[in-house]
Amino acid sequence: MGIYRKPDKTFCIAFYKHIEGHSKRECKDCKAAYARAWRRTPKGIENSKRIHEKNKTTKMVKAITEIMKKVRSGEMVPANFHECTYCFEVAKAYHHDDYDKPLEVKPVCLSCNKILGSGKNRI
């Protein structure tokens, strides 16, 4: 990890030169350098993880919503009309392997969906 230091108002972080009347808020290079340094701090790392998790959750919600719309419109058959892909019981839900491909789903029963959702034991 690099050394984190707050920017000095009389020196540009990006070039370490004295700039007369320099404002950190107006200098694009200073703002970028300050943001890079902040992202290396514990708070910055935690914030990055939170943003990544939020994006993952957003993709999941969008994928599930897309399937629900297809079922309601009649373009897809509800999951309970299928057998589970793994244990051949009556399926109760659709499982997404990849949320970036919202229409690629597998019908699964609740017990298999729970195992698949945990990510620990892949069937």
| pLDDT, tens only, 7-49 | 555 555 555 554 555 665 667 777 787 788 888 899 988 988 8
pLDDT (mean) for 48-75: 87
Q: Who contacts 63 (Cβ-Cβ below 8 Å, separation ≥6)?
A: 96, 99, 102
pLDDT for 71: 93
Parallel, antiparallel, or unpaired for β 105-108 and 93-96? antiparallel
pLDDT > 90 in the chain, percent: 32
H/E run at residue 93: strand 93-96
Q: What's the rounded Cα separation, in Å, for the pair 119 and 116? A: 6
43 contacts 36 by C-beta, under 8 angstroms: no
Cβ contact 33:69 at 8 Å = no
Between 4-8, 57-61, 67-71, 91-95, the lowest mean confidence (pLDDT) is in 4-8
Please report, for residues 1, 33, 122, the alpha-carbon distance to residue 42 in angstroms, rounded to integers and kept in the order given: 11, 17, 33
pTM: 0.54
The proportion of the chain whose per-residue pLDDT surpasses 70, expressed as a percent, equals 74
